[in-house]
């Protein structure tokens, strides 16, 4: 017997009581519509109905935001269903036992029928109708309208809120968990107001049902009392009407309380304080309001013919309240001064610990105080949205996700200055003036503009800061006009693109492989770590990025490395092999479409000299000084001529010389791309525009 009893007890303990409460409550409520209830049980349930409505109102008043009471629509449905079930149960007992006297349906209904309306059923009907009108026309209709408008505005605002969350996430202001919580809160807020819009119809239907139930019970009671129990009309009207009115009032009072709670929930503005705290701080804490009101009420009280005592008494109370609030404010200000007084420093400082060691941000943006509105999410900073776009564009074009950009203010900078920091080191600096526009001279403007002459911080082009009223004039003169946020965003984008190789750390490479493995798991497993190590792959990718080659085509890169990694582990050699596989994409990146590939070539004699200088050390950049000076001078001159013609400067050399010349020329001529012959697709047409070491 004991094992069976133990199993039963274990089963009872495993039942989730909280989870069963809702279904059991609904079944009991529906059961009250069918099963007859004694008068004493009706008293208990009517009292419970009033208590639960008061609890709902108090929870609504003390909620800081609507989502703090997210279950309110369901509670609204359950309380409405409870009231209707009680109406059905009480109607049954009124019609069955109403002929016995005014206490036939319990003491609660009797109290509401006699005490609240003085036993006068005419007064009771009027009071009942007034309560229904207040509930139906004023409170419920207003709350329903607010819920409807809030639901519409919340749905319209969802995309903007989602974008703001993504901007904060991309800017590094919040983490993934916080972003997930905020997205869930936005979705729940829309669901809540949508549910409230529908749930308010329950209360309106309840009010209409109350009127019908009142009329039906009175008519039914008259028929039952006069026909079945031989009561005269006056006695039947007295008994059944008072019972019906008591029944209606005892249901309408909780309904009115619940409707008020619904209005409070949907009409309040979300803050960190409850309704009571808001009222005290915003309405009842202003002594000027109390004093002026006391003066006006006092003047009204001394007007001849007015009831002097109520007006003057209330004016005295308001004046006393104004005095008390003024004294309390003065004391609070004095206490605040004492609290903010400087405190002597402790003689001993805390010991240093590992908590004092902070990690350097990979990528950071520091701004002066005048630029804070551009990056403040509370002021809808436009630069945050632009930074999100920069990271997304970078990921789509370059081929990996750049680290988050950490933004902070720096009081050591000039008010309108900013600086871009890479691993704790400044890599870019500029100034931007909110409210003004930067007019950039692309080289073909037809006039000058008044303003502060400067240079575009991203590309160094001549520019001038102008007032907003000169924008149209600047555009008509041929200037490229951008706002303050765009200036910072463009500079930031340029710096990130220039230092892409330094942003590709070991963690980013691993994330890149994990992303590729979702589509090509076998390809990744075969390469890492069987053929090459992760550091070698990272170096190859960094070499490509250092020369401006995108790494979006990771499949071709991994295929090439898998094919050649068995012969060499030298990152430089592997880089050249990968460039050959990516030749079509490299050329397309420099010369979009099917346009001619206009290049600078090497003279045959110079090419032989360089080949002999390189010899068997392709990784070396050591060239005889005179020869190096000639190559550098003529390459710079040819590149400048190509740029003047609007063509991207490209030097075409044999594959054996490409890596060496690229390293040699990159520092002095950063805009010159060095391509190998094997990187040019057969379908593209070559056009030599200049020859270094010879005649064009």
* 435 or 341, greater pLDDT: 435
- Which of 484, 103, 551 lies closest to 561 in space, CA to CA? 551
Per-residue model confidence as pLDDT tens digits over 53-94: 888 778 777 777 766 777 777 777 777 777 777 777 777 777
pLDDT on residue 454: 92
* 313 or 208, greater pLDDT: 313
As a whole number of angstroms, the distance between CA 253 and CA 79 comes to 12
Q: Which range among 76-90, 201-215, 256-270 has the greatest average pLDDT?
A: 76-90
As a whole number of angstroms, the distance between CA 398 and CA 482 comes to 25
Beta carbons of 247 and 46 less than 8 angstroms apart: no
pTM: 0.50
- pLDDT-derived band of residue 421, with 50, 70 and 90 as boundaries? very high
Average pLDDT over residues 120-130: 71
CA 481 to chain centre: 31
**Helices H / strands E in the chain, number of each:** 26, 12
Q: Which residue bears the tokens 């109390």? A: 290
As given in the structure block, the two tokens for residue 674 are 């060095």
Phi-psi sector, 649: left (phi>0), alpha (psi -120 to 50), beta: beta
As a whole number of angstroms, the distance between CA 383 and CA 387 comes to 6
- Which of 127, 66, 31, 76 lies closest to 255 in space, CA to CA? 76
Fold match between domain 363-499 and domain 593-696:
no
* Protein fold of 504-581: Helicase, Ruva Protein; domain 3 (1.10.8)
CB atoms within 10 A of CB 589: 15
As a whole number of angstroms, the distance between CA 318 and CA 294 comes to 5
CA 507 to chain centre: 27
Per-residue model confidence as pLDDT tens digits over 271-302: 555 555 655 555 566 777 777 777 887 787 78
Q: Which range among 17-26, 163-172, 596-605 has the greatest average pLDDT?
A: 596-605
- pLDDT-derived band of residue 19, with 50, 70 and 90 as boundaries? low
As given in the structure block, the two tokens for residue 683 are 């379908």
Pick from 132-146, 474-488, 595-609, 666-680: least confident: 132-146
Q: Is the pLDDT of residue 118 over 70?
A: no
One DSSP character per residue, 499-536 reads THHHH--HHHHHHHHHHHHTT-HHHHHHHTTTTS-HHH
Q: Is the pLDDT of residue 175 over 50?
A: yes
CB atoms within 10 A of CB 249: 22
As given in the structure block, the two tokens for residue 81 are 């269903």
SS3 of 602, please? strand
Per-residue model confidence as pLDDT tens digits over 578-627: 998 998 988 888 888 877 888 989 888 888 888 887 765 555 556 777 78
* 508 or 307, greater pLDDT: 508
Beta carbons of 489 and 428 less than 8 angstroms apart: no
Cβ neighbourhood burial of 412 (10 Å; 0-12, 13-18, 19+): exposed
CA dihedral 55, 61, 66, 70 (to 10 degrees): -10
Q: Which range among 143-157, 169-183, 671-685 has the greatest average pLDDT?
A: 671-685
CA 18 to chain centre: 33
Cβ neighbourhood burial of 351 (10 Å; 0-12, 13-18, 19+): exposed
Q: Is the pLDDT of residue 533 over 50?
A: yes
* Protein fold of 593-696: Rossmann fold (3.40.50)
As a whole number of angstroms, the distance between CA 552 and CA 512 comes to 10
Indicate the CATH number of 363-499 among 3.40.190.10, 3.40.30.60, 2.40.10.340, 3.30.450.40.
3.40.30.60
Cβ neighbourhood burial of 489 (10 Å; 0-12, 13-18, 19+): buried
As given in the structure block, the two tokens for residue 394 are 């970078």
CA 386 to chain centre: 15
SS3 of 169, please? helix
Q: Which residue bears the tokens 């609660």? A: 108
pLDDT more than 90, % of the chain = 9
pLDDT on residue 255: 75
* 38 or 11, greater pLDDT: 38
Beta carbons of 504 and 538 less than 8 angstroms apart: yes
The residues spanned by each domain of the chain are 2-31+41-279, 286-324, 363-499, 504-581, 593-696
As a whole number of angstroms, the distance between CA 46 and CA 527 comes to 75
- Which of 548, 665, 544 lies closest to 602 in space, CA to CA? 665
Q: Is the pLDDT of residue 547 over 70?
A: yes
pLDDT on residue 276: 58
pLDDT on residue 100: 66
Per the prediction, the chain carries an average pLDDT of 78
Helices 554-564, 534-546: axis angle to 10 degrees equals 120
* 418 or 24, greater pLDDT: 418
* 624 or 663, greater pLDDT: 663
pLDDT on residue 1: 45
């Amino acid at each position: 017997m004991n094992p069976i009893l133990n199993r039963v007890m274990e089963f009872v303990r495993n039942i989730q009581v909280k989870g069963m409460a809702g279904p059991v409550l609904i079944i009991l409520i529906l059961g009250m519509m069918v099963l007859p209830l004694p008068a004493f049980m009706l008293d208990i349930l009517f009292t419970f109905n009033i208590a639960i409505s008061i609890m709902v109102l108090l929870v609504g008043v003390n909620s800081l935001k609507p989502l703090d009471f997210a279950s309110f629509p369901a509670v609204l449905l359950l309380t409405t269903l409870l009231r209707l079930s009680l109406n059905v149960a009480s109607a049954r007992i009124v019609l069955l036992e109403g002929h016995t006297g005014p206490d036939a349906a319990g003491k609660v209904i009797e109290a509401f029928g006699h005490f609240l309306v003085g036993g006068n059923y005419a007064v009771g009907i009027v009071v009942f109708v007034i309560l229904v009108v207040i509930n139906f026309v004023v409170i419920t209709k207003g709350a329903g309208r607010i819920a409807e408008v809030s639901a519409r505005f919340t749905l319209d605002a969802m995309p903007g809120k989602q974008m703001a969350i993504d901007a904060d996430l991309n800017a590094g202001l919040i983490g993934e968990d916080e972003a997930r919580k905020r997205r869930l809160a936005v979705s729940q807020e829309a669901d809540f107001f949508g549910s409230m819009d529908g749930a308010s119809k329950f209360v309106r239907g309840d009010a209409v049902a109350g009127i019908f139930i009142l009329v039906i019970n009175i008519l039914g009671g008259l028929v039952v009392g006069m026909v079945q129990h031989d009561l005269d009309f006056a006695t039947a009207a007295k008994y059944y009407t008072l019972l019906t009115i008591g029944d209606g009032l005892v249901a309408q009072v909780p309904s009115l309380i619940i409707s008020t709670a619904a209005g409070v929930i949907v009409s309040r503005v979300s803050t960190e304080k409850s309704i009571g705290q808001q009222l005290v701080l915003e309405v009842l804490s202003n002594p000027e309001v109390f004093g002026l009101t006391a003066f006006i009420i006092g003047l009204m009280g001394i007007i001849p013919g007015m009831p002097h005592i109520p007006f003057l008494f209330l004016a005295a109370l308001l004046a006393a309240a104004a005095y008390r609030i003024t004294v309390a404010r003065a004391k609070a200000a004095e206490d605040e001064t004492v609290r903010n007084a400087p405190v002597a420093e402790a003689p001993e400082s805390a010991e240093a610990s590992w908590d004092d060691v902070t990690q350097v941000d990979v990528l950071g943006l520091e701004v002066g105080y005048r630029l804070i509105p551009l990056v403040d999410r509370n002021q809808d900073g436009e630069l945050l949205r632009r930074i999100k776009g920069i990271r997304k564009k970078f990921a789509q074009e370059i081929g990996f996700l750049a680290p988050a950009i950490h933004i902070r203010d720096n009081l050591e900078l000039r008010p309108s200055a900013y600086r871009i920091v890479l691993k704790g080191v400044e890599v870019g600096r500029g100034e931007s003036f909110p409210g003004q526009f930067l007019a950039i001279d692309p080289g073909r403007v037809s006039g000058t503009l008044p303003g502060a002459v400067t240079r575009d911080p991203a590309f160094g082009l001549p520019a001038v800061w102008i007032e907003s009223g000169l924008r149209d004039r600047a555009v008509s003169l041929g200037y490229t006009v951008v706002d303050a946020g765009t200036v910072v965003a463009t500079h930031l984008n340029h710096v990130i693109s220039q230092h892409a190789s330094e942003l590709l750390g070991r963690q980013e490479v691993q994330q890149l492989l994990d992303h590729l493995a979702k589509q090509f798991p076998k390809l990744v497993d075969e390469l890492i770590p069987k053929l090459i190590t992760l550091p070698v792959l990272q170096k190859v990718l960094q070499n490509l990025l250092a020369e401006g080659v995108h790494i979006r085509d990771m499949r071709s890169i991994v295929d090439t490395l898998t094919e050649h990694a068995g012969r060499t582990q030298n990152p430089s050699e592997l880089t050249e092999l990968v460039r050959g596989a990516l030749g079509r994409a490299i050329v397309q990146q420099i010369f979009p479409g099917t346009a001619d590939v206009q290049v600078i070539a090497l003279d045959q004699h110079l090419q032989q000299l360089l080949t002999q200088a390189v010899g068997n050390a392709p990784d070396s950049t050591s060239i005889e000084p005179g020869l190096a000076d000639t190559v550098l001078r003529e390459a710079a001159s040819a590149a400048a001529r190509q740029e003047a013609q609007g063509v991207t400067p490209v030097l075409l050399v044999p594959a054996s010389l490409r890596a060496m010349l690229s390293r040699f020329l990159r520092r002095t001529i950063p805009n010159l791309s060095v391509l190998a012959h094997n990187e040019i697709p057969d379908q593209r047409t070559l056009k030599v525009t200049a020859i270094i070491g010879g005649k064009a």
